[in-house]
Chain A
Amino acid sequence: GQNIDQPTEMTATEGAIVQINCTYQTSGFNGLFWYQQHAGEAPTFLSYNVLDGLEEKGRFSSFLSRSKGYSYLLLKELQMKDSASYLCAVPSDSGYSTLTFGKGTMLLVSP
């Protein structure tokens, strides 16, 4: 079956850099997604990695190592508005069109 692990919560200060890790186990591999979810809101798409390496998108970057079953989301120059839950997700073994989500990492950014 599939298994996705990420830390439950993290704290950081404004202006700092934080790395949120995700490890996964799937029978096949068809990419890894990161979503951001603010309290009381819907998850919104952040990034998609299908090849190994780092993908940079502004203050946010996502890294993937397929051989290690490992990804991380790197957030730079943290702002208060970055306080949210960050969800790691992989296409489901039962159907690549669906996503299986981790339970999310709650990030709290303090002044």
Chain B
Amino acid sequence: DAGVIQSPRHEVTEMGQEVTLRCKPISGHDYLFWYRQTMMRGLELLIYFNNNVPIDDSGMPEDRFSAKMPNASFSTLKIQPSEPRDSAVYFCASSYSGGSGNTIYFGEGSWLTVV
């Protein structure tokens, strides 16, 4: 079975540039999550969707961050303009509400470096 698929796996960009991260959740899953991981803050939830609808974006750091989910199989996280402090690993994850305890499954992550 295909897991959560993210792209790009690695991106290095210059400060001020737009960054778009992409995610394909596991087929049949009705929840999609965007998390960010840094050494200092650990794994933090940025935003999550249920049936393609954004439910809680209180974790989005500021207006430079936006996320969309146009259909059940695709989501994007956009940073515009990017800043060095945005350097982190961004994980997309999905879950199925009918499963046991709503276990969350993670993609391999997008490693972002802003210079």
Contact = CB atoms under 8 A, between A and B. Distances in A.
Interface in A35-49: 41-45, 48
Interface residues of B, number: 23
Nearest to A104: B42
Nearest to B111: A40
Interface residues of A, number: 24
Contact of A45 (B50, B56, B103): B103
A96 B33 CA distance: 13
B103 A100 contact: no
A87 interface: yes
Nearest to B102: A97
Q: Is the interface of A mostly helix, strand, loop or mixed?
A: strand
The winner among A42, A96, A99 for most chain B CB atoms within 10 A is: A42
Interface string B39-60: 0001101001010000110100
B42 A103 contact: yes
Contacts of A96: 102
